[in-house]
Structure formats: structure tokens, C-alpha cells
């Protein structure tokens, strides 16, 4: 029973991180119709930036409560850094290509992935970078006879807050209306006097922020390593394909499905755990191409 | 435009192709062993890119999962050599072709139900199924260690040539160069015939306007499926030829960034031309080898080349040369 509780918490923890990444990917696709192959790399970059910032300000050892508070405050720096990176990339590299076939944008993001993977190697070196001191100093709570790290609960909290916040932002604010209008009909939005170029920059930056935040919150629990972005991207793809490209609710449900299937997979069918996920994605695309929550 | 409506005349074609073939045949006399080996890699990738471009350039479908068919060809050869103890390379190629044909028929049947971005994601997802199987079933596939296929375990031309004993490496490289060259030429001619056949014209019609194509009676989905199978089989052949050269097959070649590399090659050469993927694959291979040799940040070098290509020269090497040639002719 306790094991079940732990596994459930693990799945939700994993779903929270996956939701942050996929919501960003989905938002960018929904508004701009861009499949961003570098999105996983943004997530990895966010993890590296946060781990590096926390490590260089506070060192690797766990400190008292004040140090912990400082470390937690420093955590989102990865997300903001990636948002800035996104705000620079969209107008310089992506905007000139919107008039060309979509293949070109896809290729640019693939080139970007290759460049950023090596930028990480150049800036942070080949060794894994961790902010594990945060996790250590937060201790753990007991669930029945077992222990569970307190920090993971914070990540779950961040995931929930991000989901609610994003929903509020998109469905309850003026900017959200503009965002949805642009995603539904770019020309009409432009004809009505909206600055579509600015909406695109903002949407791309928010999407990148989400990816960076995913990396920032995961890095105290798992060290940042080279190649983590390439792995994460495919899982994020699976999530938004299951949930529906461009749908926020879809990203949430997709993230939950993927992480529970993964947790169950690791328990019961470890060899085909990943294959099952990809097959689920393929099956959803076949039966319901718009995903569970997508609109055509 | 990929070709004029009737296609170039045969004498002009031969005047263009024969000097290149002769040059390729004489080249090992003038370059060293290592360069020859690099050229073999380039030629195998050229076969893969040629197949890939039947989908991208001629049918208008961007596959992001061609690593699956390359890897299928490669792993089949490895299984045949390791488990069936077959030595004949011809049988290995046959097996690799057959397995990649079957898997591309299966995956293609599913994928051609969609176009554009959905097609890309579907091909990607399915290719990753194969990758995760190769990765996880280590007692069958060797996991990340892969499967070794030493050149001593294969023979060419139905056992006429084997590569054991002293000096065998040299003999292998030179013999294998001509072996791959011949298969490359056959593949190129076959692809040329395909894209200039009524079937190839139908594919281009589908690419340019799907609705009109179906109105003139082309069975769009069926044609796309056939194109998919041909494309996958070409890439599978490339994978099969690649294995003995590399001596090893690992899940890397099934992982999706390798699919990206195949796209990269094709765009580098220019996907709107027939020769583009060939030039692109050979150029990409040199580019990658020299980038890896000269810098530990070779991925960044390749990425910058790709970004610059897409921004500045979207028609690729061949397309750009063609444009310059046309401008010179007009003067």
C-alpha cells in the first residue's frame, strides 16, 4: 500500500515536469504552428542554468534555512534565462522563415538543437551538474513506513500552480484572448490591428519559459546531463500527440497518462515501456489525429 | 523544378553522367585508403538520401523517421551474420532489403493516412518504437553495445572474395568501394527511372496539388504508400551496406537525431533536384568527419551550417549551382 502511494506520487511528480515541458511545446505549436525540435534542449538548458547559478552562489553543501530559502528563490532563474533566449531566437531565426514551407522552420529548430547541445557542453562542461543540496536540506516526509523527499512535493505544487496559472492566463486575461485569436486566425487578428509579430515573440518566450521552468525544478532531484533534452523532447511529443497538439488540457492529461504508463511500465514491462508509449502515440494519431482534446 | 516535363534527352544525360562515373571509378588510384573509406560512407548515405528524397522532394512528405529503415537494414545484416552464420554479403543485402521493405510497408500503411506535420510526428514515433526495442532488448540486440559485424565474417560476390589474413583491410576497402559504387549506380538509375516514370509524375502531381491529383484519378493514398515503401527500401539497402564498413551497428542509427541527419543531407544538397541528395550526402559525410576531427564542438559546427543553409541557400548546393549556371547562360 505504501509502495503504491510512493509510486503514485512519483508518477505525479514526473507528470508535473512533463506537463511543464509539453505545455510550452503545445503553446508554441498552438499559436505559431511551429514544431520546435529544440524544445527539449531548452528544458536541458534551463536545468543547467539553474544548477550552475545555485552552485556558484551557494556552493554544493547544504546550509541552514536561510540558505535554502535563497536557493529556492534562485531556482526560477533557469526559466527566465530561457525565456530571454527564446525572445532572441524567434525574431532573428524563425521570423524570416514564416513565408516558406513549414519544413524549413522544422529544420532551423533541428539546427538550433545541435548548436545548443554543444553550447551547453561549452559553457557547463561534460560532467553532470546538480543542485542536489536543495533536496538534501529539505529532508523527507514519511508515508507509512517509507520516506519520500519533501522537495518532490514542491515540484508537484509548481506543476499544479503552473497549470492553473496558464489556464487563467489563456482563458481569463486580455492577453490570453489575443493569443487565442492569433492562433485561430492569424490574418484576421492582424487585420483587426493586433501586432502579430509581438504576440509571436511573447508566445514563443512563454513556451520557452515553461521548458526552462521544467528544467529548473527538476535539477535538484535529477542532475543535468548532456542529452537529457533529446530524450525529453520525444516524451513531450508523445504527451502532446496523445493530448492534442496545441491544447493545454491535452498536455495535462497527456502528461498524466504518459507518467502513469511509464511508472507501471517500469514495474511490470520494463523492456517495452518506451515502445508502448510510442505505440500509444501512434495509435492516437491514427484513431483521433487531433488528440484527445485537440480541435481540428 | 525537379525536371523538365519530358526530362533531359538520353545523350545529354550520358554526357553528364559518364564522366562522373569514370571519375568515381578511377578515384581510388589517386586518393589514400582513408579517403576511399570516407567516400564509401558518402556513397551509402547517398543511397539513403536518394530514397528519402522520393518522399520529401517528389511526394512532398517530410519523414522524420527514416532512421528506422536504415537501422532495420543494418540490424538485419547483423542478425544474419551473427545468428545464421551466413557469410555472403549478397544474401545479407537481400535480407536487409526484404526486412526494410516489410517494415516500411507496415509503417507506411499507417503513416500515409496523414500529411504535413502529423506525418512527420507519426514517422518519428514509429521509428522510436524500433529504437527503444533495440535499446532495451539487450540480450537480442546487444543494447547500446550493439552487434559487431567484422569484415572477416563476410564474403563478396558469392564467396569469391574474403577478407582474412594479412593486408585484408586494404583489400576490403578497395573491393568494397567498387562493390558499393556499383550498387549505388544501380540504385541511382532505378530511382531515375522511377521519378521519370508515369508513377513518378503522379507523385509530383500529388505533391503539387493533392485535390487535383485525386480528381484526375490518381489513388493518392496508394501512391504515397508505394513511394513510402520504395523510399524505405532504398534507405534499408544503405543501412545494410553501411554495417560491414562500420563493423558495428548500435541503436544510435535508430535514434531520431539520425533521421534528422538524413533530412540534413538532403536539404544540404537540395531536395528540389534529383542529384541534390547524392551531393548532399557525400558533402555532409565529409563535413561531419572533418568537424568531428577538428573540434569537440562539431555538433555546433553542423548546426550552424544547417541554419545558414536554410536561411541563405534554401535550394541547397545543387540548386544554388544550378541558379548560377542559369544566370551565366543568360548573359
Residue B4 has pLDDT above 60, yes or no: no
**DSSP three-state, residue B179:** helix
Q: Rounded mean pLDDT of chain A?
A: 86
* Structure confidence at residue B262 (pLDDT): 92
User: Mean pLDDT across the stretch A163-191?
Assistant: 87
Is pLDDT larger for residue A255 or for residue A291?
A255
Which of A112, A282, A289 shows the shortest C-beta gap to B307?
A112
DSSP B59: I
In a domain, A27, yes or no: yes
In a domain, B308, yes or no: no
User: Mean pLDDT across the stretch B120-124?
Assistant: 86
* Structure confidence at residue B2 (pLDDT): 47
* Structure confidence at residue B25 (pLDDT): 80
* Structure confidence at residue B8 (pLDDT): 65
DSSP labels, B302-323: HHHHHHHHHHH-TTHHHHHHHH
Residue A214 has pLDDT above 80, yes or no: yes
Alpha-carbon distance B105 to nearest alpha carbon in chain A (angstroms): 16
- CA-CA distance, A208 to A64, in Å (whole number)? 32
User: Mean pLDDT across the stretch B12-25?
Assistant: 82
* Structure confidence at residue B5 (pLDDT): 47
Return the C-alpha cell found at A117: 547541445
Residue A21 has pLDDT above 90, yes or no: yes
- CA-CA distance, A6 to B116, in Å (whole number)? 41
Residue A22 has pLDDT above 80, yes or no: yes
In a domain, A249, yes or no: no
Give the total number of structural domains in chain A.
1
What does DSSP say about strands A140-143 and B248-249: parallel, antiparallel, or unpaired?
A: unpaired
| Other beta carbons less than 10 A from residue B13's beta carbon | 12
Chain B: which residues have CB within 8 Å of chain A? 56, 62, 64, 110, 113-114, 116-118, 120-122, 124-126, 128-129, 132-133, 135-137, 256-257, 260, 263-264, 267, 296-300, 302-307, 310-311, 314
User: Mean pLDDT across the stretch B100-108?
Assistant: 93
In a domain, A243, yes or no: no
Residue B1 has pLDDT above 60, yes or no: no
Rg (CA), chain B: 20
In a domain, B302, yes or no: no
In a domain, A69, yes or no: yes
User: Mean pLDDT across the stretch A233-237?
Assistant: 88
Is pLDDT larger for residue B171 or for residue A161?
A161
**Residue B36 to residues A89, B185, B245, Cα–Cα distance (Å):** 40, 17, 11
Q: List chain B residues with CB under 8 Å of A289.
A: 114, 118
**Range scoring the smallest mean pLDDT among A57-61, A132-136, A259-263, B287-291:** A57-61
Is pLDDT larger for residue B29 or for residue A162?
A162
Residues 6+ apart with CB under 8 A from A250: A26, A240, A242, A243, A244, A291, A292, A293, A294
* Structure confidence at residue A96 (pLDDT): 86
Q: Where are the alpha helices (DSSP H) in chain B?
A: 10-30, 33-53, 67-83, 89-111, 116-136, 138-141, 168-196, 198-208, 210-215, 220-246, 256-269, 276-294, 298-312, 316-330
User: Mean pLDDT across the stretch B51-65?
Assistant: 90
Q: List chain A residues with CB under 8 Å of B302.
A: 111, 114
- pLDDT category at A241 given cuts 50, 70, 90 is confident
* Structure confidence at residue B72 (pLDDT): 93
* Structure confidence at residue B233 (pLDDT): 94
In a domain, A220, yes or no: yes
Q: What is the pTM of this model?
A: 0.86
Residue B328 has pLDDT above 80, yes or no: yes
- pLDDT category at B40 given cuts 50, 70, 90 is very high
What does DSSP say about strands B147-148 and B161-162: parallel, antiparallel, or unpaired?
A: unpaired
- pLDDT category at B169 given cuts 50, 70, 90 is confident
**Domain extent at residue B235:** 10-253
Residue B199 has pLDDT above 60, yes or no: yes
In a domain, B69, yes or no: yes
Q: In chain B, pLDDT over 70 holds for what percent of residues?
A: 96
Long-range contacts of B3-9 (CB under 8 A, 24+ apart): B3/B195, B3/B196, B3/B274, B7/B196
Give the total number of structural domains in chain B.
1
User: Mean pLDDT across the stretch B77-86?
Assistant: 87
In a domain, A282, yes or no: no
User: Mean pLDDT across the stretch B220-236?
Assistant: 93
User: Mean pLDDT across the stretch B191-208?
Assistant: 90
In a domain, A100, yes or no: yes
Residue B322 has pLDDT above 70, yes or no: yes
Q: List chain A residues with CB under 8 Å of B260.
A: 37, 110, 113
Q: List chain B residues with CB under 8 Å of A114.
A: 299-300, 302-303, 306
**Domain extent at residue A66:** 2-227
* Structure confidence at residue B28 (pLDDT): 80
Would the ipTM clear 0.90, i.e. be above it? no
What does DSSP say about strands B161-162 and A140-143: parallel, antiparallel, or unpaired?
A: unpaired
What does DSSP say about strands A140-143 and A146-149: parallel, antiparallel, or unpaired?
A: antiparallel
User: Mean pLDDT across the stretch A32-44?
Assistant: 90
Alpha-carbon distance B207 to nearest alpha carbon in chain A (angstroms): 13
CB–CB of A115 and B260 under 8 A?
no
**Range scoring the smallest mean pLDDT among A201-215, B63-77, B111-125, B199-213:** B111-125
| Other beta carbons less than 10 A from residue B330's beta carbon | 6
Q: In chain B, pLDDT over 90 holds for what percent of residues?
A: 30
Residue B156 has pLDDT above 80, yes or no: no
In a domain, B102, yes or no: yes
Amino acid at each position: 500500500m505504501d509502495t503504491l502511494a510512493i509510486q503514485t506520487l512519483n508518477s505525479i511528480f514526473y507528470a508535473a515536469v512533463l506537463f511543464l515541458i509539453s505545455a510550452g511545446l503545445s503553446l508554441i505549436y498552438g499559436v505559431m504552428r511551429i514544431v520546435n525540435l529544440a524544445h527539449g534542449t531548452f528544458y536541458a538548458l534551463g536545468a543547467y542554468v539553474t544548477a550552475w547559478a545555485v552552485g556558484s552562489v551557494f556552493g554544493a553543501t547544504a546550509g541552514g534555512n536561510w540558505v535554502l530559502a535563497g536557493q529556492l528563490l534562485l531556482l526560477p532563474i533557469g526559466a527566465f534565462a530561457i525565456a530571454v533566449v527564446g525572445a532572441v531566437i524567434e525574431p532573428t531565426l524563425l521570423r524570416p522563415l514564416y513565408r516558406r514551407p513549414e519544413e524549413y522552420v522544422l529544420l532551423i529548430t533541428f539546427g538550433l538543437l545541435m548548436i545548443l547541445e554543444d553550447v551547453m557542453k561549452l559553457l557547463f562542461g561534460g560532467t553532470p551538474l546538480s543542485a542536489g543540496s536543495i533536496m538534501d536540506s529539505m529532508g523527507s516526509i514519511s508515508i507509512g513506513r517509507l520516506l519520500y523527499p519533501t522537495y518532490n512535493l514542491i515540484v508537484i505544487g509548481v506543476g499544479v500552480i503552473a497549470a492553473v496559472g496558464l489556464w487563467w492566463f489563456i482563458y481569463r486575461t486580455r492577453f490570453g484572448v489575443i493569443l487565442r485569436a492569433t492562433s485561430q486566425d492569424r490574418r484576421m487578428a492582424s487585420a483587426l490591428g493586433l501586432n502579430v509579430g509581438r504576440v509571436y515573440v511573447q508566445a514563443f518566450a512563454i513556451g520557452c519559459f515553461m521548458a526552462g521552468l521544467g528544467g529548473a525544478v527538476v535539477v535538484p532531484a535529477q542532475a543535468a546531463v548532456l542529452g537529457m533534452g533529446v530524450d525529453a523532447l520525444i516524451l513531450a511529443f508523445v504527451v502532446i500527440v496523445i493530448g492534442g497538439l496545441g491544447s493545454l488540457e491535452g498536455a495535462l492529461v497527456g502528461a498524466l497518462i504518459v507518467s502513469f504508463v511509464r511508472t507501471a511500465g517500469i514495474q511490470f514491462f520494463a523492456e517495452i515501456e518506451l515502445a508502448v508509449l510510442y505505440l500509444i502515440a501512434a495509435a492516437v494519431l491514427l484513431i483521433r489525429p487531433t488528440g484527445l482534446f485537440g480541435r481540428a | 523544378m525537379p525536371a523538365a516535363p519530358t526530362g533531359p534527352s538520353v545523350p545529354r544525360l550520358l554526357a553528364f553522367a559518364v564522366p562522373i562515373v569514370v571519375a568515381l571509378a578511377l578515384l581510388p588510384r589517386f586518393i589514400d585508403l582513408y579517403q576511399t573509406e570516407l567516400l564509401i560512407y558518402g556513397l551509402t548515405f547517398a543511397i539513403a538520401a536518394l530514397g528519402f528524397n522520393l518522399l520529401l522532394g517528389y511526394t512532398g512528405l517530410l519523414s522524420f523517421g527514416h532512421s528506422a529503415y536504415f537501422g532495420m537494414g543494418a540490424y538485419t545484416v547483423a542478425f544474419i551474420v551473427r545468428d545464421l552464420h551466413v557469410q555472403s554479403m549478397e544474401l545479407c543485402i537481400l535480407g536487409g532489403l526484404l526486412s526494410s521493405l516489410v517494415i516500411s510497408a507496415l509503417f507506411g500503411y499507417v503513416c500515409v493516412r496523414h500529411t504535413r506535420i502529423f506525418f512527420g510526428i507519426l514517422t518519428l514515433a514509429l521509428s522510436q518504437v524500433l529504437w527503444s526495442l533495440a535499446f532495451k532488448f539487450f540480450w537480442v540486440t546487444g543494447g547500446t553495445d550493439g552487434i559487431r559485424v567484422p569484415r572477416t565474417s563476410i564474403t563478396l560476390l558469392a564467396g569469391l572474395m574474403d577478407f582474412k589474413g594479412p593486408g585484408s583491410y586494404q583489400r576490403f576497402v578497395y573491393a568494397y568501394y567498387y562493390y558499393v559504387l556499383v550498387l549505388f549506380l544501380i540504385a541511382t538509375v532505378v530511382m531515375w527511372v522511377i521519378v521519370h516514370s508515369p508513377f513518378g509524375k503522379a507523385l509530383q502531381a500529388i505533391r503539387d496539388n493533392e485535390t487535383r491529383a485525386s480528381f484526375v484519378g490518381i489513388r493518392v493514398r496508394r501512391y504515397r504508400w508505394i513511394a513510402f515503401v520504395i523510399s524505405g527500401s532504398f534507405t534499408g539497402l544503405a543501412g545494410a551496406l553501411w554495417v560491414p564498413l562500420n563493423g558495428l551497428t548500435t541503436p544510435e542509427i535508430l535514434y531520431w537525431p539520425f533521421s534528422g541527419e538524413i533530412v540534413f543531407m538532403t536539404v544540404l544538397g537540395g531536395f528540389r533536384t534529383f542529384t541534390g541528395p547524392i551531393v548532399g550526402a557525400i558533402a555532409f559525410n565529409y563535413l561531419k568527419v572533418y568537424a568531428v576531427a577538428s573540434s569537440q564542438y562539431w555538433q555546433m559546427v553542423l548546426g550552424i551550417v544547417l541554419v545558414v543553409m536554410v536561411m541563405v541557400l534554401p535550394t541547397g548546393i545543387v540548386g544554388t549551382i544550378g541558379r548560377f549556371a542559369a544566370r551565366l547562360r543568360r548573359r
